[in-house]
Structure 1
Amino acid sequence: MTNPIISLKNIDVTFTQKKRTIEAVKNVSIDVNRGDVFGIVGYSGAGKSTLVRAINLLQVPTAGQVVVNGETFFDGQSSKGVQIKPKDLRDRRRKIGMIFQHFNLLNERTVAENVAFALQHSPLSANEKKAKVSELLELVELSDRSEQFPSQLSGGQKQRVAIARALANDPEILISDEATSALDPKTTNQILALLKKLNAEFNLTILLITHEMEAVKEIANKVAVMQNGAVLEQGSTLDIFTKPQAPLTKEFIETATNQDKALAAISATDVVENLPAGQLFARLTYSGNSTNEPLITGLYQNFQVVASILYGNVEILQGTEVGSLLVVLSGTEAGLAAGLDSLTDQGVTVEILKGTKA
């Protein structure tokens, strides 16, 4: 079994403000394996950023255990809590790069100088540092901007500088804390593509902190959904998208796949609003090699259930086709029951949105 590069066990983070206790993180356990792109998704205030700041002890937990690369950083069962010396912690933090929503660049320094700033405590020689900066700027496709200042760059270019700076000390882990939130959709996709490239080429472990499930869908292989400081559910991106359990997760997925708009529009049509007795309005979600036609054809051939497709959507997640259909199903009570059971047996997730399953 692979040892996780990051292991957070039963993490609590509690603040006291004006005699009021705030539980920012509640009993969260997450394991991140080397090479993962692990998405942590939730709305503002969910506790995402507080949780990931516990990884490098920028936020010391109230309870739990933090283990990074097999080394215990914090153990709430110990009398002293923090298990690592300050100097060693500074060294370990250099192997955990961080990028943020607002870039945090030094405006009075050039692009090259911003990247070089991260190397000020590096043992590299001046020439080696210069070569390293050039290599990083080429990696993020900003070699021609090295002498420009942040004010001369677009938002996407600024984030690329921030990524180059975060990679300066050859980190094994990169934490992206809402790094695409201030960017337009096209630029967001470019930054996500860059992160995906870094993960693939350097086996860089990435924690993607975001309120946008679209970003998770694009590059993450695992995801945890947070609300009010707690993890509602976690698993592979494919499992979460095809078998979401929590209402918030379903909401995120509907938004990410534009199903929310389609569902609202279709639910308001006459065919759904005035659904006759004996018909069902349902959502079918499937993954793998199944296609719309065999599913629908099989319902009719085997159970005499007619399926009227009102909406269809297909995504590719981690190389696997994931489809979703909004359908009205018509048939006998026995045929509908047997047909829906058959779909479930084939690994199709069936959600009855209107009507009653016999």
Structure 2
Amino acid sequence: MAEATSPIIELKDIDVTFKEADRTVKAVKDVNLQVNKGDIYGIVGYSGAGKSTLVRVINQLQRQSKGTVTVSGQNLGNLSGKNLRQARTKIGMIFQHFNLMNERTIGDNVLFPLLLGSKLTRKEKQAKVDELLDLVGLADKKNDYPAQLSGGQKQRVAIARALANDPEILISDEATSALDPKTTGAILELLKHLNETLGLTVVLITHEMQAVKAICNKVAVMQSGEIIERGDLLTIFSNPTEQLTKEFIETSSQIDSALANVVEQATVQNLGAGEQLVVLSYAGDSTEAPLIAQLYEKFHVTPNILFGNVEILQNTPVGTLGLVLSGVGDAVETALAYVAQQGVHVRRINVAEYRAELARKAAANNEEATV
């Protein structure tokens, strides 16, 4: 990942308010955000969280009701007309549905942004198109039409087109949401490659924490128009503070599905005195300590491992372990206090409450599906 240095995007005190016939909707509320040059910055949230509205403020496709937007040291709120259009050329954007022109060839789709305002000669423009198609792995598709391409190939064309004016920033607004997992992975790897080779700053808008985890170095979580949590990727994943962030992380790490299976086991539903179902989350040096062996050696607590996962985030191992601990008296609580002192996050699971919550969510989803 390209080295993050000075701020390239600064949003200060941003509000976006829409007035409807009988009400006022505040889509973005008092948001402050700084993206450094070279970041791959993920903004994650469910539909309606305000994340797409927020990023449209960055290139002033959506004007803020309050606050300032500074990109590459320039206050975009002070610009209009030709000056704003010129500033926007340094901010590329790709979308979920590609927005290609079906009646034009792939080469002409990439060429389109260069038809107005570019000082390149006709020959130089064609060379630029060839260069960009080669960069995204579609050099042999120049004379094809969008209908002849797969979804992943169409998104690669959209990326090439977004790079035509040599932008410093690329905004990806749910650009992988319509793609299958394998193709999504390939597009994310392409964005990471562009970040590393071109020094391109990427702002990734998504509702999938898995995408954030794959390539981002920073992340902000949005809910109801506000940023509720932000930080570097490793800190957010190893020590989330907000419930929504925890839910996103559990989904991306498949903790929630593993727990849902575990709590249906009869042995887990009938834990006795001195037994506790826990999920341990740990990062860095904590993954190297023989904690499980120490639980028995130091506290005579027996661990029964139910599920586990270890992955590498920003060159740091991050792991999750679900287990039932068994001991006499307060041995389990003493052991968990020791584990927490080693920098491991301890989550105690009340099986009855967790099953009840799963039932409530299932009922809510069924009700929503029938509306």
The TM tier, using the shorter chain, reads over 0.9
Shift of 1:316: 1.4
1:111 alignment partner AA: I
Matched, 1:233 2:229: yes
> Cα distance, 1:294 vs. partner?
0.3
Pick from 96, 103, 120 the counterpart of residue 108 of structure 1: 103
| Map of 1:313 onto structure 2 | 309
- In 1, the alpha carbon distance for the partners of 2:230 and 2:241 equals 10
Contact 2:18 2:27 in 1 (8 A): yes
Instruction: Say yes or no: does 1:220 pair with 2:216.
Output: yes
How far is the alpha carbon of 1:333 from its aligned partner?
Answer: 4.1
1:52 corresponding residue in structure 2: 55
Q: Following superposition of structure 1 onto structure 2, how do residues 198-347 of structure 1 map, counting pairs within 5 Å?
A: 198-291=194-287, 294-347=290-343
Contact 2:133/2:157 (CA < 8 Å) preserved in 1? yes
Q: What's 1:31 paired with?
A: 34
How far off is 1:204 after superposition? 0.8
1:118 to 98, 113, 116: 113
The Cα of 1:292 is off from its aligned counterpart by 7.3
Paired letter, 1:182: A
Q: Which moved more, 1:141-150 or 1:226-235?
A: 226-235
| Separation in structure 2 between the aligned mates of residue 291 and residue 220 of structure 1, nearest angstrom | 22
CA distance, structure 1, for counterparts of residue 53 and residue 289 of structure 2? 46
- 1: distance between equivalents of 2:286 and 2:228? 29
- Per-residue CA deviations over 1:10-60 (Å, capped at 9, x if unaligned) read 211010000310010011111111111111111111101000011111111
Distance 1:313 1:172 in 2: 37
In the TM superposition, what whole-angstrom CA distance separates every residue of 1:294-319 from its partner, at most 9, and x where no partner exists? Answer: 01012221222221111101121111
Deviates more, 1:308-317 or 1:170-179: 308-317
Distance 1:275 1:238 in 2: 34
AA of the residue aligned to 1:51: L
Which whole-Å CA distance do the structure 2 matches of 1:298 and 1:9 have between them? 49
For structure 2, list consecutive stretches of 5 or more residues without a partner in the other structure. 352-371
- Normalising by structure 2, we get a TM-score of 0.91
Query: In 1, are the aligned partners of 2:16 and 2:27 still within 8 Å (CA)?
Result: yes
Contact 2:286-2:344 at 8 Å conserved across structures:
no
What is the alpha-carbon distance in structure 1 between the residues aligned to residue 34 and residue 274 of structure 2? 46
1:10 to 2:35 alignment: no
* 1:43 aligned counterpart, secondary structure: coil
2:89 is equivalent to residue 89 of structure 1: no
- Distance (Å, rounded) in 1 between the aligned partners of 2:144 and 2:303: 59
Give the aligned residue type for 1:216.
V
TM-score by length of 1: 0.94
Identify unmatched segments of 5+ residues in structure 1: 74-81
Identical counterparts, % of pairs: 59
> Which amino acid is 1:87 matched to?
K
Distance in 1 (CA, whole Å) between partners of 2:296 and 2:71 is 54
Amino acid at match of 2:171: I
Runs of 4+ residues over 3 Å off in structure 1? 289-293
Q: Verify the 8 A CA contact 2:9 2:34 in the aligned structure 1.
A: yes
Deviates more, 1:108-117 or 1:233-242: 233-242
2:182 is matched with 186
- 1 CA distance for matches of 2:347 and 2:16? 37
Are 1:64 and 2:60 counterparts? no
SS of the aligned residue for 2:60 comes to coil
2:285 aligned counterpart, secondary structure: coil
What's the counterpart of residue 127 of structure 1?
A: 123
Number of residue pairs matched by the alignment: 347
CA distance in 2, matches of 1:333, 1:348: 22
| Deviates further, 149-158 or 289-298 | 289-298
Q: Given the alignment of the two structures, is residue 140 of structure 1 paired with residue 136 of structure 2, yes or no?
A: yes
Deviations 1:37-85 (A, max 9, x none): 1111111111010000111111111112211112222xxxxxxxx3124
- What's the C-alpha RMSD, in Å, of the aligned pairs? 1.5
Q: Find the counterpart in structure 1 of residue 365 from structure 2.
A: none
Q: More deviation in 21-30 or 297-306?
A: 297-306
Question: Which is richer in helix?
Answer: 2
Please state how far the C-alpha of 1:255 moved relative to its aligned partner. Answer: 1.4
